[in-house]
């Protein structure tokens, strides 16, 4: 091509994946730090505490996603509302495949823990971990594939 | 023609065009045909492919 644009290759979707990785790490780090501390000092983590922390987790993540999407959209003007192209779809498909494996592995580990008399709060924690790790693997795989090309 | 103009003409993002140019991403057949039509040429003029050498067993 004659008129080469600059080769800045960070797409809106890749930027969103970065935002979600950072958001998930912060929100999940806070969530597990508090839950594990409570879990160590009490026999069972009270259900209202779990519910409250889950709501806080979702709020932090939502705020991060909105703020991150705004910043990413401003730096990639006109790209945010574009539908996924074929490369985006391929990357999404590969990332989802890996993330589903991670989710299922942690879920099976959690289910196995049930047979070793795991507390119900630990089971809930395992399910949360499966969901969070699954999403982290999804976003990190997306970033890796976007960096690599596909 | 700019990368952005080509991207718009074939319906992908500019970053996908960059990935194709660098040889990091192989476009679908549909996009490959679209690219060749934008340049009013044939597929072979735009894309090259070398068959892997298969050693006889």
* pLDDT per residue of chain B (57 residues) written in tens, 0 to 9: 899 899 999 999 989 999 999 989 999 999 999 999 999 999 999 998 877 788 777
Residues A68/A15, Cβ–Cβ less than 8 Å? yes
Average pLDDT over residues A63-71: 92
Dist. CA A113–CA A118, nearest whole Å? 6
Mean pLDDT of A99-110: 96
Is A79 within 8 Å of B13 when comparing Cβ atoms? yes
Residues in chain B within 8 Å Cβ distance of A85: 11-13, 16
* Bigger pLDDT: A116 vs A102: A102
Which is more confident, A100 or A4? A100
> Scanning every residue of chain B, which has its alpha carbon at the shortest distance from the alpha carbon of A79?
B13
Nearest to A150 among B3, B11, B25 (CB): B25
Q: For position B55, what pLDDT does the model report?
A: 78
Q: Which of residues 18-47 of B touch A (CB under 8 A)?
A: 18-19, 21-25, 27-28, 31
Nearest CB partner across the interface for A149, out of B2, B3, B25: B25
Q: Is A126 exposed, middle or buried (0-12, 13-18, 19+ CB in 10 A)?
A: buried
The A residues from 59 to 88 touching B (CB cutoff 8 Å) are 79, 82, 85-88
- Report the percent of chain A where pLDDT is more than 70: 94
Total domain count for chain B?
A: 1
Range of the domain at B18: 3-46
* Cβ neighbour number for residue A26 with a 10 Å cutoff: 14
Res A116 pLDDT > 90: no
- Using left for φ > 0, alpha for ψ between -120 and 50, and beta otherwise, residue B11 falls in left
B23 domain-assigned: yes
Q: What is the pLDDT of residue A58?
A: 93
A149–B14 CB contact, under 8 Å: no
Question: In this predicted structure, what is the pLDDT of residue A122?
Answer: 86
- The stretch A66-70 carries a mean pLDDT of 92
Per the model's pLDDT, the better-predicted residue between A121 and A93 turns out to be A93
CB contact under 8 A, A5 and B13: no
Q: Inform me whether the pLDDT recorded for A1 exceeds 70.
A: no
Distance in angstroms (rounded) separating the CA atoms of residues A42 and B29 = 60
A53 CB contacts (<8 Å, ≥6 apart)? A31, A34, A35
Span A107-117, average pLDDT: 91
The rounded mean pLDDT for chain A is 89
């Amino acid at each position: 091509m004659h008129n080469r644009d600059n080769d800045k290759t960070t797409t809106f979707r890749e930027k969103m994946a970065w935002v979600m990785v950072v958001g998930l790490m912060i929100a999940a780090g806070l969530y597990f730090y508090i839950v594990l501390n409570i879990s160590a000092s009490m026999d069972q983590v009270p259900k209202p505490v779990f519910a409250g922390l889950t709501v806080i987790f979702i709020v932090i993540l939502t705020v991060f996603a909105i703020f991150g999407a705004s910043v990413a959209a401003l730096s990639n003007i006109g790209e945010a509302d574009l539908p996924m192209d074929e490369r985006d779809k391929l990357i999404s498909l590969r990332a989802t495949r890996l993330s589903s494996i991670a989710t299922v592995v942690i879920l099976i580990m959690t289910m196995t823990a049930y047979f070793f008399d795991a507390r119900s709060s630990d089971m809930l924690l395992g399910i949360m971990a499966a969901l969070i790790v699954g999403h982290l693997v999804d976003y990190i795989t997306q970033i890796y594939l976007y960096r690599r090309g596909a | 023609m700019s990368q952005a103009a080509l991207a718009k003409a074939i319906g992908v993002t500019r970053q996908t065009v960059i990935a194709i140019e660098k040889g990091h991403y192989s476009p679908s057949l549909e996009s490959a045909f679209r690219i060749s039509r934008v340049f009013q040429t044939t597929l072979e003029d735009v894309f090259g492919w070398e068959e892997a050498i298969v050693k006889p067993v």
